[in-house]
Amino acid sequence: MSGAAQGYAAGTAAARGANAKFETWLWIAQRASAAVLALCVLVHLATIIYAVHHSLSGAAILARTRGNVGALAFYTLYVLAIAVHAPIGLRALCQEWLGWRSASLNWVIGALALALFVFGLRAGAAVFVG
Amino acid sequence: MNMLRVSVWRGGADGEYRNYEVPRQESQSVLDVVTYIQRNIDPTLSYRFACRVGMCGACAMTVNGVARWTCRTHVAKVAKDNAIQIAPLANLPVVKDLVTDMCEFFDKWARARGRFAPGATRKDAFARVASDSPERVAANAGIECIGCGVCYASCDVVSWNPDYLGPAALNRAWTLVNDVRDTAQRERLAAVAGDAGCHACHTHLSCGERCPKNIVPTASIAGLKRAVALAAWRGEL
Amino acid sequence: MRNDFRARNHPAWWAFLVHRLSGLALSLFLPFHFWALGQALQGEARLDTLLRWTQQPLVKFAEAGLVLLLAAHLAGGLRLLALEFLPWRGWQKSLLAWAAGAALAVGLAFALVL
């Protein structure tokens, strides 16, 4: 991981090659998760607007979501896509605006991805399993 | 006589702006203004130019904060309250006054493998490339680049990421990726991938906005992103 | 020499800034969002308490802002996917207008149902 995080000019040819592959797969993951999220966010926005429009209470929302296996599967996919997409985006921001380019950034980003996934699943369990 | 107030960067990186008054003329270009100052007011002013007719790109400078070819910029178009500010191109080390060190710009060109790698010899027949083939059309969209540095100076990713190869180098690499005669495709794709390469482009589109040849490096870089992703997917990166 | 706002004052650059800042804001909101939803683990009453809290005008206003940010980030993201994956055409420059319009429309839809 540390080799892949080294700067282009500073690293060896092997490190640059690892960096090239690493960044390419991050780019692919970012765009793939973006495509998944495009769908998920549209559904999420629609349900938010529906729930607010009908002034649904907590009980009313949970009555519709709890035990709903299809919805649970959907939101699990949603959480997974977020756990991939958000950290990669934040990584670019940290590199460019904070000048944070060391290997530690990748570890922190990885930890963030894991945290988002775990807490997202917990929230999903709360709403869809109960 | 209508006098133009001109603020010009003098000195190196730790220099300062100095003010001059230049008579306004009809159809005056910013290069005319710089030339006037050097010939009539201060002969110590250093600047670059060559063709002065919009072909070579040597006169590129920052005018009122925007990178432009000074020979092709009419004072009337950019003057605000009868004043203009002239500085060297951004993102490059300042040698003196309006002159920048272009070495890094061209070094990155080489690092992006912006050099044609031939496979044929003089004994082989001419390569036949249809001018309307998709690859040739893609390459033609970017080959008019004359390496003036305006896109490089306009790119914020270049400012934020010192290793970033930059729009011109990547655009050139893309034209060569689309050159069916080239034999260094694998090395080139490896050279342009990574956080110093195409993946650092965030589609600000400043390059395409400022390019005096109306090239859009962002489009070329998007092509590189796709080509590199495909290569990685196939295990060829 | 460094560029200042004069070099950046064009639509595509503002689109980038909106996209990055909205992404940052949403990332900061997410942990709170997951925590709030996780409160449902402690029963409906807990979730109801939270939902009542969100009825406050300031919170509703913030919520509308969040929806606008989400819509803006989505629209901007779709624009980026078009720019990166579709062959380059002139109309792509006006994608920005479409994206901005779509984001605003969604934000308004949410605001209207408040």
Q: Is the pLDDT of residue A110 over 70?
A: yes
What integer pLDDT is reported at residue A4 of this predicted model?
A: 38
* Rounded Cα distance, B17 and B11, in Å: 9
What integer pLDDT is reported at residue C108 of this predicted model?
A: 73
What is C5-113's CATH number, 1.10.1040.50, 1.20.1300.10, 3.30.60.50, 3.30.930.10?
A: 1.20.1300.10
Q: Which two three-digit tokens encode residue B207?
A: 């390059």
Which of C1, C16, C85 has the CB atom closest to B202's CB atom? C16
What integer pLDDT is reported at residue A2 of this predicted model?
A: 36
Biggest CA–CA distance in chain C, Å, is: 59
Inter-chain CB proximity C1 and B219 less than 8 Å: no
Name every chain B residue with its beta carbon within 8 A of the beta carbon of C89: none
B69 lies in which domain range?
3-100
* Rounded Cα distance, C9 and B139, in Å: 29
Query: 3-state class of B89 per DSSP?
Result: coil
* Rounded Cα distance, A37 and C80, in Å: 14
What integer pLDDT is reported at residue A1 of this predicted model?
A: 34
Q: Is the pLDDT of residue A96 over 80?
A: yes
CATH of the domain at B12: 3.10.20.30
Residue A110 phi, psi dihedral angles, 5° rounding: -65, -40
Residue B16 phi, psi dihedral angles, 5° rounding: -160, 170
Chain A neighbors (3+ CB pairs < 8 Å): B, C
Type of residue numbered B12: G
* Rounded Cα distance, C75 and B187, in Å: 36
Inter-chain CB proximity B229 and A16 less than 8 Å: no
What integer pLDDT is reported at residue C114 of this predicted model?
A: 58
* Rounded Cα distance, C69 and A34, in Å: 16
User: Between β-strands B83-87 and B3-10, what pairing exists: parallel, antiparallel or unpaired?
Assistant: parallel
Does one domain contain both B227 and B130?
A: yes
Q: Judge whether B11 and B46 are in contact, CB under 8 Å.
A: no
Domain boundary (B36, B71, B100) is at: B100
For the segment A34-60, the average pLDDT, to the nearest whole number, is: 87
What integer pLDDT is reported at residue A90 of this predicted model?
A: 97
For the segment A38-60, the average pLDDT, to the nearest whole number, is: 85
The residues with which B6 forms a beta bridge, in sequence order, are B20, B84
Inter-chain CB proximity A27 and B199 less than 8 Å: yes
Does one domain contain both B186 and B212?
A: yes
Residue whose structure tokens are 């802002």: C65
Query: 3-state class of B18 per DSSP?
Result: strand
Going by pLDDT thresholds of 50, 70 and 90, the confidence category of residue A9 is low
Does one domain contain both B65 and B109?
A: no
Among A69, C14, A7, C103, CA closest to B209? C14
List, in sequence order, the alpha helices (H) in chain B. Answer: 30-36, 75-78, 103-111, 134-140, 150-154, 156-160, 167-177, 185-192, 206-210, 217-233
- Per-domain residue ranges for chain A? 26-128
Q: Judge whether B87 and B12 are in contact, CB under 8 Å.
A: no
The pLDDT profile of chain B, 237 residues, written as one tens digit per residue, is: 799 999 999 999 999 999 999 999 999 999 999 999 999 999 999 999 999 999 999 999 999 999 999 999 999 999 999 999 999 999 999 999 999 999 999 999 999 999 999 999 999 999 999 999 999 999 999 999 999 999 999 999 999 999 999 999 999 999 999 999 999 999 999 999 988 999 999 999 999 999 999 999 999 999 999 999 999 999 988
Going by pLDDT thresholds of 50, 70 and 90, the confidence category of residue C89 is confident
* Rounded Cα distance, B205 and B178, in Å: 22
The DSSP symbol for B84 reads E
Q: What is the mean pLDDT of chain C?
A: 85
Domain boundary (B72, B100, B128) is at: B100
pLDDT in tens, C21-77: 999 999 999 999 998 888 877 777 777 788 788 888 888 888 888 888 998 999 899
**B204 at A interface, C-beta within 8 A:** no
* Rounded Cα distance, B174 and B170, in Å: 6
CATH of the domain at B153: 1.10.1060.10
Q: ipTM of this complex > 0.95? A: no
Query: What is the four-CA torsion angle of B55, B158, A14, B111, rounded to 10 degrees?
Result: 10
What integer pLDDT is reported at residue B161 of this predicted model?
A: 94
What integer pLDDT is reported at residue A11 of this predicted model?
A: 60
Inter-chain CB proximity A28 and B229 less than 8 Å: yes
Going by pLDDT thresholds of 50, 70 and 90, the confidence category of residue C95 is confident
Inter-chain CB proximity A27 and B157 less than 8 Å: no
Report the Cα B7 to chain-centroid distance in Å.
24
Specify the higher pLDDT residue, C65 or C108.
Answer: C65
User: Between β-strands B60-63 and B16-23, what pairing exists: parallel, antiparallel or unpaired?
Assistant: unpaired
Counted domains in chain B: 2
What integer pLDDT is reported at residue C109 of this predicted model?
A: 73
DSSP string of chain A, one letter each residue: -HHHHS-TTTS-HHHHHHHHHHHHHHHHHHHHHHHHHHHHHHHHHHHHHHHHHTT--HHHHHHHHTT-HHHHHHHHHHHHHHHHHHHHHHHHHHHHHS---SHHHHHHHHHHHHHHHHHHHHHHHHHHT-
Residue of chain A whose Cα is closest to the Cα of B186: A17
Residue of chain B whose Cα is closest to the Cα of C20: B202
What integer pLDDT is reported at residue A10 of this predicted model?
A: 53
Residue whose structure tokens are 């429009």: A53
Distances (CA, A) of B82 to A87, B3, B22, B230: 49, 8, 10, 53
Percent of chain C with pLDDT over 90: 35
For the segment A26-43, the average pLDDT, to the nearest whole number, is: 95
* Rounded Cα distance, B107 and B87, in Å: 23
* Rounded Cα distance, B160 and B200, in Å: 10
Q: Is the pLDDT of residue C104 over 80?
A: no
Residue B96 phi, psi dihedral angles, 5° rounding: -165, 135
Does one domain contain both B107 and B213?
A: yes
Among A31, A30, A23, CA closest to B190? A23
What integer pLDDT is reported at residue C1 of this predicted model?
A: 87
Q: Is the pLDDT of residue A5 over 60?
A: no
Does one domain contain both B54 and B86?
A: yes
Type of residue numbered A74: F
Domain boundary (B55, B85, B100) is at: B100
Does one domain contain both B114 and B87?
A: no
| b/e per residue B35-66 (b: at least 16 CB within 10 A) | bbbbeeeeeebebbbeebeeebbbbbbbbbbb
Does one domain contain both B96 and B126?
A: no
Chain C interface residues facing chain B, Cβ-Cβ under 8 Å?
1-8, 10, 12-13, 16, 20, 80, 83-85, 88
